[in-house]
Structure 1
Amino acid sequence: MGLSMIVLDVYQPHEDEPYMNARQKAWFRDRLLEQRESLVQEARRRLREIREADMVRVPDMLDRSVSETWREQELRVQARFREVLDRNTEALRLLEEGDYGYCCLTGEPIGIPRMLAVPDALFSIEAQQFRERSAGQMDLLCG
């Protein structure tokens, strides 16, 4: 009886290879699609919980207050999910157009370390810091 081996693709993009080559793009596309699926599933689950909670009538004022506070918090989380999903959609669009991995503000490479940490990053660290200092004055997405 022989041992069977399963060989897993353990590839991970690194800085020592050409930036945004075909293998890197495919790897990041997979990460973005995984992120998207995870976000959609979690958002649906949370929305279902909100709807179920809305169907329950809470007679006690304190319990009602706690329930309303929870609901408001969940709605804020839903809004955050939408923001991340929008950024994910934008990153996938940029990937299809050949601009993925490049800062939407400067056009410079975002860099593999940042892309590994935040696959849906649209801005370099420096540009993101500038945007945060200029909050409210710039669009969230590239397009």
Structure 2
Amino acid sequence: MAEARAQDAKAFGFEPYEAASDEDYMSPEQEAHFRAILQAWKRSLMEEVDRTVHHMQDEATNFPDPNDRATQESEFSLELRTRDRERKLIKKIDEALDRLDEHEYGYCDACGVEIGIRRLEARPTATLCIDCKTLDEIRERQRG
């Protein structure tokens, strides 16, 4: 999953951020880097939503054969579920952009430590450091 997100960043034309040795964490340059990644990702998702709407409008046919109609409805249903997941992701991206505006981006919601540039490049919407996320996943598994 982390590799996929890193590939997303490269697909949007972004190279991994190389911080200067004396650069503060979440400097204006780093904030600009992550803002650009988040905005490109959101733009890509919104374009996909538009394509889905046009596709569904263009392909909506009332097939006389029940099997053809069922196949089309199944395809549309799958596409809508995918778009719903992306809608939730867009919400997370907007929340991350809000955190950037408030200069709170990049810090763990649970313990307040730095999440880290590489983790944020792999998952730009991350709100927990790796340690807190690991503990969260362990608790989730224990709850079943």
Q: Which residue of 1 aligns with 2:112?
A: 107
Structure 2 counterparts to residues 48-59 of structure 1, below 5 A = 48-53=54-59, 55-59=60-64
User: Any residues of structure 2 matched to 1:52-91 within 5 Å, and which?
Assistant: 52-53=58-59, 55-91=60-96
Aligned length: 127
Question: 1:51-72: per-residue Cα shift (whole Å, max 9, x none)?
Answer: 333x311111211111111111
Q: Which has the higher contact order (CA 8 A, sep 6+)?
A: 2
Secondary structure of residue in 1 paired with 2:33: helix
Q: TM-score, normalised by structure 2?
A: 0.76
Runs of 4+ that moved beyond 6 A: none
Task: Supply the RMSD in Å over aligned alpha carbons.
Answer: 2.5
Q: Which runs of 5+ in 2 are unaligned?
A: 1-13
Aligned to 1:39: 45
C-alpha change, 1:78 and 1:23, in structure 2 (3 Å) is same
State the TM-score, normalized to the length of structure 1: 0.76
Residue aligning to 2:124: 119
Deviations 1:37-86 (A, max 9, x none): 11111111112212333x31111121111111111101110111111100
CA contact (8 A) 2:17 2:117 kept: no
5+ residue gaps, structure 1, are: 1-8, 138-143
Partner of 1:134, secondary structure, is helix
Q: In terms of Rg, which structure is larger?
A: 1
Structure having the higher helix fraction is: 2
